[in-house]
């Protein structure tokens, strides 16, 4: 589509050209009437004809030409010297011939120019499309390279995780048995507790690594969002209380349901709340806000493209904290697997990556907004599930 401003300026240029052409036409008619014998004045009609041709409208050109021809022959109505009438007719017919020729050539040239300009604009538009397609290709190539590298890293991580996982379970079991020994001193008990906590942390990291490489397909069922949110909040509440961070839950008036894998979506909320808790300090606040909004036209089109069920509303789950926030370079890398700013052993850097993978597999999106010193907002959007008679039957039939 052409931009509106150049179109408007072209229109006002045409209006100016037509005004000048009209003024010239009137001027020549006046000169002709003052010096009727002088046919040279009629040649002046060439100028308005050339001007009108630049407006590139055939109908306008035909009208102008007719007016000029008429005005040229009007000169014949004035009295001429005896015997000069025939030569006046011949002279004025020659002028008319010149005017018709000029009009024809000027119009043909302008129309050719217009065709060339159109072809040039179409070519420029095609070049732009090609450029964009090329950029898209470059992006896809980068993404492919990244996923190839990731697949290799993931494979290695899975092997290491597997090798570490088995002896870890055995160590954990022995530590728990030791902790039950009656003759332990309080100091020994405290040390065993620390060992147990550290083992749990390693087990969590190993689990994260394994879920990265063995991402299973979600096993879905209709889930009440309120239940999902309140159960995760209840699980996390003690950790928030210990740190003096307030955890608030707001659930909208409308009951929302999502078609999801309970375990995976709980994992997403736990990851987001764990991050928010790590970024906040005593006296600060974390909120979970669950709500609904109508589906956008982009989302509806994307769902249609991927063959997913149409949804009318989207469920939004926002985890908002008033914590440290993230600087631009961390924000840019937040979804990269293994990106972490936590101390070695404290974070695998997989929380956000896995959370987004899970949400995407559920047909949703996960976005992040953050400002240093103000806090972070993570917005999860999932399609609202509306039971159809067929889906109700399928659920009961299972
Ligand atoms: N709410 C938040 N506020 C500030 N920074 C955040 C927040 N959430 C994530 N981050 C930053 O993004 C990084 C990546 O987060 P992610 O959850 O992927 O990994 P992690 O928390 O470091 O480790 P893991 O979740 O695997 O234990 C974090 O290290 C942290 O720097
Ligand atoms: Mg995390």
pLDDT at residue 343, as a whole number: 83
Q: Residue 104 in contact with residue 127, Cβ under 8 Å?
A: no
Mean pLDDT of 276-289: 97
Query: Phi-psi region for residue 147, left (φ > 0), alpha (ψ -120 to 50) or beta?
Result: alpha
pLDDT confidence of residue 229: 96
Condensed to tens digits (0 to 9), the pLDDT of residues 17-53 reads 999 999 999 999 988 888 765 678 889 999 999 999 9
Question: Which has more confidence, 220 or 310?
Answer: 220
Q: Tell which one of 337, 349, 369 to mutate to probe ligand 1, the residue whose CB is within 8 A of the most ligand atoms.
A: 349
169 band by pLDDT with thresholds 50, 70 and 90: confident
36-50, 60-74, 121-135, 182-196: segment of lowest average pLDDT: 36-50
DSSP string, 186-227: HHHHHHHHHHHHHHHHHHHHHHHHHHHHS-PPP--EEEEHHH
Q: What is the mean pLDDT of residues 143-158?
A: 72
Max Cα–Cα distance, the chain, nearest Å: 147
Give me the count of residues in the chain: 398
Pairing of strands 246-251, 285-294: parallel
CA distances for 29 relative to 25, 26, 96, 99, 101, angstroms? 6, 5, 15, 15, 20
CB atoms within 10 A of CB 376: 25
Atom of ligand 1 nearest to the CA of 352: 18
Distance in Å from the first CA to the final CA of the chain: 54
Paired strand residues for 377: 320, 369
Q: Is the pLDDT of residue 224 over 50?
A: yes
Q: pLDDT exceeding 90 applies to what percent of the chain?
A: 49
Residues contacting 376, CB < 8 A, separation 6+: 275, 276, 279, 320, 321, 323, 325, 326, 368, 369, 370
Burial of 230 (0-12, 13-18, 19+ CB in 10 A): middle
How much is the pLDDT for 263? 87
Question: Do residues 42 and 71 make contact, with C-beta atoms less than 8 angstroms apart?
Answer: yes
User: Residues 273, 275, 276, CA angle at the centre, nearest 5°?
Assistant: 60
The secondary element (H helix, E strand) that includes residue 397 is: helix 389-397
Q: Which of 340, 345, 346, 368 gets mutated to test ligand 1 (max ligand atoms within 8 A of its CB)?
A: 340
- Residue 247 and residue 270 in contact, taking contact as beta carbons nearer than 8 Å: no
When pLDDT is averaged across residues 247-276 and rounded to a whole number, the result is: 92
* Alpha-carbon gap, residue 365 to 295, rounded angstroms: 12
CB 58 within 8 A of CB 85: no
- Provide mean pLDDT across the span 337-366: 87
165 vs 65, higher pLDDT:
65
pLDDT (0 to 100) of residue 100: 95
Whose C-alpha lies nearest to ligand 1, atom 31?
A: 341
Q: Are 279 and 340 in contact (CB under 8 A)?
A: no
Q: What is the DSSP letter of 309?
A: P
d(Cα 154, Cα 274) in Å, to the nearest integer? Answer: 23
Instruction: Please state the rounded mean pLDDT for residues 269-285.
Output: 96
Task: Look at residue 2 in the predicted model and tell me its pLDDT.
Answer: 44
**d(Cα 358, Cα 374) in Å, to the nearest integer?**
27
Percent of the chain clearing pLDDT 70 (strictly above): 90
pLDDT on residue 245:
97
Q: Output the pLDDT for position 6.
A: 64
373 DSSP 8-state letter = T
Residue with tokens 């599930």: 385
The pair of three-digit structure tokens given for residue 18, joined into one six-digit string: 């037509």
Ligand nearest to the CA of 341: 1
CA-to-CA separations, 78 to 70, 72, 83, 129, in angstroms, rounded: 14, 12, 14, 64
CA distance 274 to 193: 22
Distance 378 CA to ligand 1 centre (A): 11
292-324 confidence digits (pLDDT tens): 999 988 888 877 777 777 778 999 999 999 999
Q: Which ligand is nearest to the CA of 353?
A: 1
- Helix (H), strand (E) at residue 26: helix 4-34
Measured from CB, residues less than 6 Å from any atom of ligand 1 are 208, 271, 275-276, 279, 321, 323-324, 326, 330, 334, 339-342, 347-353, 376
Rounded to the nearest angstrom, the gap between the alpha carbon of residue 55 and the centroid of all alpha carbons in its chain is: 40
Q: Look at residue 8 and tell me whether its pLDDT is greater than 80.
A: no
Identify which has the larger pLDDT, 284 or 363: 284
d(CA 312, CA 294): 6
Ligand with the closest atom to the CA of 284: 1
Between CA 46 and CA 25 the distance in angstroms is 10
Q: Which residue has the higher pLDDT, 325 or 138?
A: 325
Q: Is the pLDDT of residue 398 over 50?
A: no
- Phi, psi of 345, rounded to the nearest 5 degrees: 95, -20
Ion ligand 2, residues whose Cβ is below 5 A away = 275, 351
Tokens of 238: 């003690």
Nearest 5°: phi and psi at 111? -65, -35
Strands (DSSP E) found in 110-253: 221-224, 246-251
Mean pLDDT of the region 61-84:
85
Q: What is the mean pLDDT of residues 56-84?
A: 86
User: What pLDDT was estimated at residue 215?
Assistant: 58
Q: Cα dist. 174→55, 182, 188, 207 in Å?
A: 93, 15, 14, 20
């Amino acid at each position: 589509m052409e931009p509106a401003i150049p179109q408007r300026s072209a229109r006002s240029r045409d209006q100016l050209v037509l005004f000048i052409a009209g003024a010239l036409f009137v001027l020549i008619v006046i000169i002709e009437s003052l010096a009727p014998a002088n046919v040279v004045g009629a040649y002046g009609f060439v100028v308005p004809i050339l001007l009108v041709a630049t407006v590139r409208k055939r109908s306008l050109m035909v009208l102008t030409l007719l007016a000029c021809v008429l005005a040229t022959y009007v000169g014949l109505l004035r009295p001429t010297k005896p015997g000069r009438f025939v030569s006046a007719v011949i002279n004025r017919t020659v002028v008319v011939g010149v005017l018709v020729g000029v009009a024809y050539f000027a119009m043909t040239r302008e129309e050719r120019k217009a065709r060339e300009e159109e072809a040039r604009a179409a070519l420029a538009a095609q070049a732009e499309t090609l450029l964009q397609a090329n950029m898209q290709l470059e992006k896809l190539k980068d993404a492919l390279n990244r996923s190839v590298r990731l697949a290799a890293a993931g494979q290695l991580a899975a092997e290491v995780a597997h090798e570490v996982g088995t002896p870890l379970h055995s160590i954990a079991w022995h530590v728990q048995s030791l902790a039950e020994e009656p003759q332990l001193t309080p100091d020994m008990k405290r040390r065993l507790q620390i060992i147990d906590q550290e083992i749990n942390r390693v087990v969590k990291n190993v689990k994260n690594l394994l879920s990265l490489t063995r991402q299973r397909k979600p096993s879905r069922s209709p889930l009440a969002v309120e239940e999902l949110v309140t159960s995760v909040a209840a699980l996390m509440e003690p950790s928030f209380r210990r740190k003096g961070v307030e955890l608030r839950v707001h659930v909208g008036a409308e009951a929302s349901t999502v078609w999801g894998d309970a375990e995976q979506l709980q994992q997403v909320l736990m990851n987001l709340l764990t991050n928010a808790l790590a970024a906040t300090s005593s006296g600060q606040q974390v909120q979970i806000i669950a709500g609904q909004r109508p589906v956008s036209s982009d989302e509806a089109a994307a769902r249609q493209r991927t063959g997913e069920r149409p949804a009318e509303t989207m469920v939004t789950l926002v985890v908002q904290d008033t914590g440290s926030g993230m600087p631009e370079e961390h924000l840019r890398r937040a979804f990269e697997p293994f990106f972490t700013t936590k101390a070695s052993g404290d974070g695998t850097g997989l929380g956000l990556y896995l959370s987004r993978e899970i949400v995407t597999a559920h047909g949703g999106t996960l976005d992040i907004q953050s400002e240093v010193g103000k806090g972070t907002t993570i917005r999860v959007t999932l399609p609202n599930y509306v039971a159809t008679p067929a889906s109700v039957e399928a659920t009961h039939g299972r």
